[in-house]
Amino acid sequence: MSNPLPRVTIAVSSLNQGRFLGDALQSIFSQNIPVEVFVADGGSTDDTLSIIKKWESRLMGWRSHPDNGQAAAINESIAKGKAPYVAWLNSDDLYLPGGLSALLSALEQHPEWPGVYAQAWNVDARLKRKSKVWVQPFSERRLAMFCIISQPATLIQRKMWEAVGGLREDLHMAMDYDLWWRLYRKFGPLGYIEREVALNRDHDQTKTKTRRKRHYQEAVAVVREHYGRVPIKWWLAWPISVWLRSWITPQNFLENRRIKH
């Protein structure tokens, strides 16, 4: 019997995330739906290539060389596929069992939705659950106040992804936030299902942790472009979201304890 046609194209972008990549791929191929997966590695120097080769027989393809950033790598990967639905999974994130299937089922039942999203958990490097990601049902006002959509817990219709041109490659931190706005403006609200479908691995090497100021600046620019103004919340939260959280890191906490004792 021939293999069923893939229903979802999944891009996995990675750079020196070999310690997590195997978990991400395992979570994809455990979903029990036909997928096509392309791994775009940015030229890792750790054990990433050995992990990729372990999974090579199940991949649509892969490459490893320096590129123009995460957004460009994701666009490249998704363009190589043909499945009617698309997603990307960061190499340090995971799908929960049945999570991708739940997203696919919801989107097939609601073809008017440009995409669908669900709930996710923040976990540490060892997958210990820390907190639930702040996700809310879709509304323009909510989206202007916060990014209410957790990227690992999303699925998008390919035809609508292609209609808006995929991710903006000049963005490196808030490209997902920008995509939700552009899909909404062109096709209407994204759908939401109240189910936990993914894990967002929160560790000290994530871009969100190491480049807080740029992340916040990009998000503010995205809100201004798509909403027409920047809600005051963004300015009030700036000191905490950027400066305070950049200063209070596990390393700084330990150093302060050593100084005091």
pLDDT tens for 153-178 read 999 999 999 999 999 999 999 999 99
pLDDT tens-digit map of 77-127? 999 999 999 999 999 999 999 999 999 999 999 999 999 999 999 999 889
Least confident of 55-64, 174-183, 240-249: 240-249
Question: Taking all residues of the chain, what is their mean pLDDT, rounded to a whole number?
Answer: 89
State pTM to two decimals: 0.87
Q: In this structure, what token pair is assigned to residue 26? A: 């395992």
Point out the least confidently predicted range of 51-60, 69-78, 161-170, 228-237.
Answer: 228-237
Asked if pLDDT for residue 239 goes beyond 70, the answer is no
Q: How far apart are CA 151 and CA 82, in angstroms?
A: 21
In the 3-class helix/strand/coil scheme, how is 126-177 assigned residue by residue?
A: CCCEEEECCCCCCCHHHHHHCCCCCHHHEEEEHHHHHHCCCCCCCCCCCHHH
* Domains present along the chain, CATH in parentheses: 8-260 (3.90.550.10)
Note whether 132 and 121 are within 8 A (CB): yes
Are the CB atoms for 230 and 136 separated by under 8 Å?
Answer: no
CB 114, CB 38: distance < 8 Å? no
Residues in the chain: 261
Read off φ and ψ for residue 229, nearest 5 degrees.
-160, 165
